[in-house]
Structure 1
């Protein structure tokens, strides 16, 4: 078993990661790091976690033998500090998206992991989900010809007071859900975008959006001529899908991003329509099982720190384009690896969770 410390016991840890680890076959949570010991005590009892420490006890925990890896689910601006400290202690790191809030911090995280000889993985759970990988396999197998256009929407109504609405942690729909659209487009075209354009909307009469935008619409251009358009929003009805149009056909994944629903693929070509309903898996259980396999075998994870950095560079360019009204160049190194079928893990879902 690979033993994990959960750093940050908020909603995503309660709703998804802690239950998911319990569904995996090779991973276990042995510690919870949080500022709320009462809440952590109940979570620890429910999930059978043996140790609770405050944030001031994080370094001491890392020095001990009880933890092999950390899962960092803190506000975005805290990712770098806690990741670098874990790396220096020789612990592997699984960190939520976006990787950091600026390129300097992201590079520091990558360098710390490299110097310590540990793995840093960005938590792209969809890389271990069957429908997502099937889309990429269809494109690789010429099912729609050469991909030309990518279109996506990922939206929901964010509740007032949600941490995603705080500017201090680089909150907002672009960073929280737009990153899924960016990541999907990058792998659909198997290239890095070279230019970004964007527009935003912030309603003046909605108290939720005093610090962040309500909606972001972005356009990315890829070297081959591929174009990716998407809208990310915290102020619209729930929707999550993307469509890829190629020279000979098109495919659509709807639902396409959320972990609570199974993905469904629709492929159109030559007047025929084929639909595939994929089984619902536990995305977080699949993700942690894959990462633990990487740790056990010494195989670097596909969604490493550079993968998170590539998305960050696109996010920063989109944000700057929206602020300035001018197109922004993006410079990222080509990625040699993309999600493949061997990365899929069929971890069953569970209804057993404790959420405050």
Structure 2
């Protein structure tokens, strides 16, 4: 697989030479790069969050449909074997009915980084918020019905937004989820899930680098079990699936997935379906993270075999 980097919107002369485009620009420039590529029939792997407005999301979906190209949001955790196992164990009732969820996801981000001076859409809520939000949605198997958030700004930092935000979500069944996100703190990514008959905790859960490895501890009346996940290249897997998706043929299930839209609110259609013309091969969401999120563990193992680009 040949990969090229571009710092300007993709032009027709360029897209004729490539099979897919991975858009990893700041979120407020996603549409600028993705829309012309999709209209030209080039598949797009788009970093999360999808966009800063519903209007931009719908425009890119429309471009995907008119150009007959696959649009896939690159949320890498949906199909990760670690997350799939975690969700499966909770669904099997290993800790009983879920009661509460808490999480902390913080990093010390340099203000000179583009994320440090791009306003809210460069800040911790769109960047880090997708991780605990999507995790608790899958663990609770429900959508939040009420949201409350409080943001603060540290005086010793020079961000142009609230660099630390606390979020409280209420779910059906009177279940509560709380998480804290920050660009101004020590590196922490942890969660605690409490059930009626046990708990699951982790002090390394959202990362992708080999060190420190992700882990989980399951505590029930039967004892304590500790597990460590094997690190895999999640980015190469997502890229490969975007490129290979058209070869699988059309799929009627593409709209059954989930998309994390720009406002971090889950909504239907994680992977926009492409309506191919007779001159194009059919598309499929078999390679999309959303399509695999509720499937067996076979999908994550397939991804782990992907050769690095």
**TM-score range normalised by the length of the shorter chain:** 0.7 to 0.9
181, 197, 207: which one aligns with 1:258: 207
1:69 aligns with 2:20: yes
Deviation at 1:295, TM superposition (A): 3.3
Deviations 1:240-259 (A, max 9, x none): 12222122211123311111
Q: Tell me what 1:41 maps to.
A: none
Structure 1 residue 132 and structure 2 residue 105: aligned? Answer: no
Pick aligned residue for 2:95 from 129, 144, 158? 144
Q: In structure 1, what is the equivalent of residue 174 of structure 2? A: 225
Q: CA deviation at 1:267?
A: 0.9
Give the counterpart of 2:193 among 229, 232, 244: 244
Judged with a 3 Å threshold, the aligned counterparts in structure 2 of structure 1 residues 264 and 103 are, in CA distance, closer, same or farther, namely same
Q: Is the Cα contact below 8 Å between 2:106 and 2:185 reproduced in 1?
A: yes
Separation in 2 of the partners of 1:174 and 1:166?
A: 14
Larger proportion of helix: 1
TM-score, length basis structure 2: 0.82
1:271 deviates by 4.8
Q: Contact 1:110 / 1:305 at 8 angstroms: preserved in 2?
A: no
Q: Deviations over 1:201-238 (max 9, x none)?
A: 1023322x2x1111010011223433221001011110
Residue aligning to 2:278: none
Q: Which residue of 2 aligns with 1:59?
A: 12
Q: 5+ residue gaps in structure 1?
A: 1-27, 35-54, 315-330
CA deviation map 1:175-215 (0-9, x unaligned): 111221112122222222222101111023322x2x11110
Q: Residue 226 of structure 2 aligns with which residue? A: 275
| Correspondence for 1:100 | 51
Match of 1:197, SS state, is: strand
CA contact (8 A) 1:149 1:226 kept: yes
Q: Which residue is 1:322 aligned to?
A: none
The answer as to 2:117 corresponding to 1:172 is no
Q: Partners of 2:145 and 2:28 in 1: how far apart?
A: 26
- Partner secondary structure for residue 126 of structure 2: helix
2:207 maps to 1:234: no
In angstroms, what is the RMSD of aligned CA positions? 2.8
8 A contact 2:30–2:46 mirrored in 1: yes
Could you tell me which residue of structure 2 aligns to residue 343 of structure 1? 299
Matches of 2:126 and 2:230, distance apart in 1:
28
Conserved in 2, the CA contact under 8 Å of 1:200 and 1:215? yes
- Separation in 2, partners of 1:92, 1:263: 31
Q: Is the 8 A contact 2:126 2:264 kept in 1?
A: no
Q: Quote the Cα distance in structure 2 between the aligned partners of 1:127 and 1:303.
A: 16
Residue 306 (structure 1) shift: 5.0
